[in-house]
Amino acid sequence: MCLVPVPSRLFSGGDHSIGYPTVRGVCRHLGDKKVGIIHFDRHVDTQETDLDERMHTCPWFHATNIRNAPAKNLVQLGIGGWQVPRQGVKVCRERATNILTVTDITEMGINAAVEFALEHAMDGTDCVYISFDIDCIDAGFVPGTGWPEPGGLLPREALAMLGKIIQRAPVCGLEIVEVSPPLRHQ
């Protein structure tokens, strides 16, 4: 039995490079409706390029350039891994996006973090796109990812927040990314 309603547009990817094209496709389908983005991750993924390419570390720079996916409605949850590029943080500051680190979430509590995410992602938008990067969860629990980071969210914290958001927000799409079974330790 599924306790949480599943969005009609569910995307499963390898790396996070699918974030921008899937949001772009959803936005085109929605016409003039505005989309907020709630992004679970240990990394901001907001720099324009990485190693001179558009890749899995860049989806939210490009997605927030879409007319109906404003940067002010990008909410990032669980940020704080060791690999957080300065250029990506600079973009977040310039575009006034919203970030809650694992420490922020722990200190404010799950319910307050969910309220923050919903308030900012839904401010003037019609729906929410959710991006769930598996590396937002502590690497001790999810070794099968390309960017394992210590100190992430506990599985019960991430799943509780995800469930509460899906129950309360008009979700237009959800992606699950950075799952790499070959990297899983036996």
- Return the amino acid letter for 178: E
Q: How many CA atoms lie within 13 A of 83 on its CB side?
A: 13
Task: From first to last of the 186 residues of the chain, give the pLDDT tens digit.
Answer: 344 454 567 777 778 788 999 999 999 999 999 999 999 999 999 988 776 666 677 899 999 999 999 999 999 999 997 777 777 889 889 999 999 999 999 999 999 999 999 999 999 999 999 999 999 999 889 887 877 888 999 999 999 999 999 999 999 999 999 887 666 665
Closest by Cα among 90, 93, 82, 92 to 42:
82
Tokens 């704080």, residue located: 80
Q: What is the pTM of this model?
A: 0.91
Q: What is the pLDDT of residue 13?
A: 72
Own/partner pairs for 49-56, CB < 8 Å, 24+ apart? 50/85, 54/17, 54/20, 55/15, 55/17, 56/15, 56/16, 56/17, 56/177, 56/178
CA 28 – CA 73 distance, rounded (Å): 17
The full set of domain ranges for the chain reads 10-168
CA 133 – CA 41 distance, rounded (Å): 5
Strand partners, 176: 12, 132
Tokens 């899983």, residue located: 184
**Topology of domain 10-168, per CATH?**
Arginase; Chain A (3.40.800)
User: Given the DSSP bridges, would you call strands 127-133 and 35-40 parallel, antiparallel or unpaired?
Assistant: parallel
Q: What is the pLDDT of residue 183?
A: 66
Q: What is the pLDDT of residue 1?
A: 36
